[in-house]
Amino acid sequence: MRVGAVFILGLYFLLYLDCRPAAPPVSVSNRPVSINDRPVTNLPLPPSKPLAEMSWTDGEGRVQKLADLQGKAVILDFWATYCPPCRQEIPHLNSLIAKYGRDNLEIVGLNVGGDEDKPAIPSFIAKTKMDYPIAFPESELTRFIFATRDDIPQTAVFDRKGTMITKIVGFSPDIQKELDNAVEQAVKSE
Which domain covers residue 112, as residue numbers? 50-188
- Give the whole-angstrom CA distance, residue 107 versus residue 129: 14
Q: Does 127 map to a domain?
A: yes
Q: Does 172 map to a domain?
A: yes
Listing DSSP states for 4-49 in one string gives HHHHHHHHHHHHHHHTSPPPPP---SSSPPEETTEE--SSPPPPSS
Asked if 186 and 160 touch (Cβ cutoff 8 Å), the reply is yes
| CA nearest neighbour of 136 among 155, 119, 120, 112 | 112
Q: Does 157 map to a domain?
A: yes
Q: Does 122 map to a domain?
A: yes
Q: Does 5 map to a domain?
A: no
pTM of the model: 0.75
User: What CATH code is carried by the domain that includes residue 154?
Assistant: 3.40.30.10
Q: Does 90 map to a domain?
A: yes
pLDDT of residue 35: 53
- As for how many domains the chain has, the answer is 1
Walk along the chain (190 residues) and give the pLDDT tens digit of each residue.
Answer: 677 777 777 766 666 655 555 444 444 444 555 555 555 555 556 667 888 899 999 988 999 999 999 899 999 999 999 999 999 999 999 999 999 999 999 999 999 999 999 999 999 999 999 999 999 999 999 998 888 888 899 999 999 999 999 999 999 999 999 999 999 999 998 7
